Structure 1
Amino acid sequence: MPAAVRFVNVSRRFGQVRAVDGVTLDISEGEFFAMLGPSGSGKTTCLRLIAGFEQPNEGHIEIFGETAEGVPPYKRNVNTVFQDYALFPHMTVGENVAYGLRIKGMPKAERERKAKDALAMVKLKGFEHRRPGQLSGGQRQRVALARALVNGPKVLLLDEPLGALDLKLREQMQEELKALQEKLGITFVFVTHDQGEALSMADRVAIFNEGKIIQVGTPQDIYEKPRSRFVADFVGSSNVLSPEFAASHGGAAKWTSLRPERIGVFPPDTKPPQGHASTDGEIKMISYQGSVTRFSVECGKLRIHTEIPTDEAASFEQGDRVRLIWPKSAMVTMEDAA
């Protein structure tokens, strides 16, 4: 079975800037795939290459086994949902959703029926006659989604579609998007700079930086086994331990990632259990974050951050000497210190 989307050594240049630099990638049919990275990392350009809005300078792109280079957007079996929704304000919601079907010459009765079905799918049944200006941001996002889905694309491209929504609505839409993708079974390619979105929704995540893919894997792999300092720092937060520190605390003599939530905070005389490592330090900062409290602890020349449940944090104060204890298995060696 061919991949839904395949990149083979794809590059896209804008003048002297390599926005995409030698990317090779397979996205499986029916996969919810996230492209995650900071602004300017190349993820959106990759999405535009799939959509046909950009063409590669080098390399090869396939969509379900068919060559994509030179094929215009309207001839590709993909649709895009944009962050700004791109709805026509002078059209009704129903007309917006049916617009692509109208362009294809579908009879009016049939396209109206399909538009109603698509709106029902995104929980907007009965909204056909409203105007976009009468809708909330979340409702406009659903209309944009229905408009993309009504064409029956084999690949749906989502370009930071939740970026304009407030936190509560964004979390709700994350759940709805994931449920919708599982129900439809089509390939979703989702671009975001929000690691929480990528980890909560995607089957696999590609981490981008400076036009290259740094690491691809399941959300669990990306978070638990970062291969580089960039991934460890960008996805969540991490303590990056030097080879010397890691080796002296039961790890390998390599650059090592240690997640804050794996580190416990204890009185200085606490004995570490079997299979655990420890280091002593002074609490320099305490940050309340709701269910967890974050500590910044100075351990010699190293500043270590740890997160513990807030109900366990009450007995510690800034300036206290403490012992940090963690399982040796929580230290993950990295291939690259960068």
Structure 2
Amino acid sequence: MKTYNFSAGPGVMPEEVITQITQAFETNAHTHMSIIEISHRSKQFQTIITGAEKKLRELMHISDEYAVVFLQGGGSTQFEMIPLNFATKHHNIALLDSGNFAEKAAEAAKQLGNKVTILNSTKDKHYQKLPLLPDNFDATSADYLHIVTNNTIEGATFHQNNLPKTAGRLVADMSSNILAEPYNVSDFDAIFAGGQKNLGPAGVTVAIIKKSWLTEQDLTGVGPMMRYQNHIDKQSMYNTPPVFAIYALNLVLDWVIQQGGVTEMYRRNLEKAARLYAYLDQSEFYTAPVEVSARSLTNIVFTTGDLEQDKVIAKQATEAGLFNLNGHRSVGGFRASLYNAQPMSAVDALIAFLQKVEQQA
């Protein structure tokens, strides 16, 4: 039985990359050790990490105005590093509350003593719409505006064509749709993304930082590990980096390039999402509640309207080889994560299963 992983993270990885990783766990003829044993100071790893940065810059068209670093701690640590490094003048962060991870970023910033101004929120609409930037927003009153480009739990996305237009600094948590669709890096002053969705396994986080913005900051009182500049100066090796996760990320970037880059990933993701949404929209049994213009390409949420029934169906899906379709515990229902490595055959298998359940209902 062919099985498919619809997990929101750690998410599905390309089969070719899994094969390469499996082989690399064995002793390498040149290094005489496994990939998980090599030193981060070795020439082999230096080639890996510099190659990964070069490939990411190529795929995202990242100019030399920006630094790229590979860090530990996941996106959650970035909820603290970003305000520590950039909320240094007003200690006020503007935020569009579009979901759970926006809320978490706000709470982390508050714990550090910052003021967080929620400019707009769609929480009362169950985050099924995107919050709009108010026309009267004074960008000079805040150090930056924080957004989450793709809301992994709730399924609404700030696509490139509906990003908020601000005259101030813009920071984006791009954890769940980096490389899945094109964004202009120059529209942002900082981007970060946990690796475990579209970049590889858990353990590595990418941060893309505008250098000139960083030089404007007074970092008095900020510990050395929390300073981006220290990681930039040491080429992501201020401390021991997550060697294996970066190795795997480098292979994923190779795979994306071989497939045709972000342009091709976007084409495929549009096609996969369109096929699943088309079925859900014509169904009288399932509902995809997110406003059409904001619908995610990577995390598609839907429900029968009966959360207990949804749990039963999700269990049946697991038995049919369609794993991790349960929606997040905070919202219930279903969530099909269609990351770059998810093949169209997974979508077809899911639709066939959902049709069968609907016909039997």
What's the TM-score once normalised by structure 1's chain length?
0.25
What's the TM-score once normalised by structure 2's chain length?
0.24
Please identify the structure whose Cα radius of gyration is greater.
Answer: 1
Structure with the larger helix share: 2
Q: Compare relative contact order (CA 8 Å, sep 6+) and give the higher one, 1 or 2.
A: 2
